[in-house]
């Protein structure tokens, strides 16, 4: 699983790989194929 993280204020976002979690009980795993981040969300 890939995710984009803010690791330091004012620095570019960092893309990192993590293990895919296993759903438990009544949880489900949803595949997201695209997303967007508004620049104002990073303030």
Measured distance CA(33)–CA(43) in Å, rounded: 25
The confidence score (pLDDT) of residue 36 equals 87
Q: Return the SS3 of 19.
A: coil
35 has pLDDT over 90 = no
Domain ranges, ordered by start, for the chain: 1-43
- pTM here is 0.55
Helix, strand, coil content of the chain in percent (nearest 5): 10, 20, 70
The confidence score (pLDDT) of residue 31 equals 93
User: Which residues, at least 6 apart from 17, have a Cβ–Cβ distance to it below 8 Å?
Assistant: 1, 2
- Residue with the larger pLDDT of the pair 36 and 26: 26
Mean pLDDT of the chain: 90
- Give me the count of residues in the chain: 43
Cβ-contact 26, 2 below 8 angstroms: no
39 has pLDDT over 90 = no
């Amino acid at each position: 699983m890939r995710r984009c993280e803010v690791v330091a204020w004012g620095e570019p976002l960092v893309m990192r790989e993590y293990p895919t979690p296993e759903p438990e009980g009544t949880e489900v795993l949803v595949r997201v194929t695209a997303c967007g981040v508004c620049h104002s969300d990073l303030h």
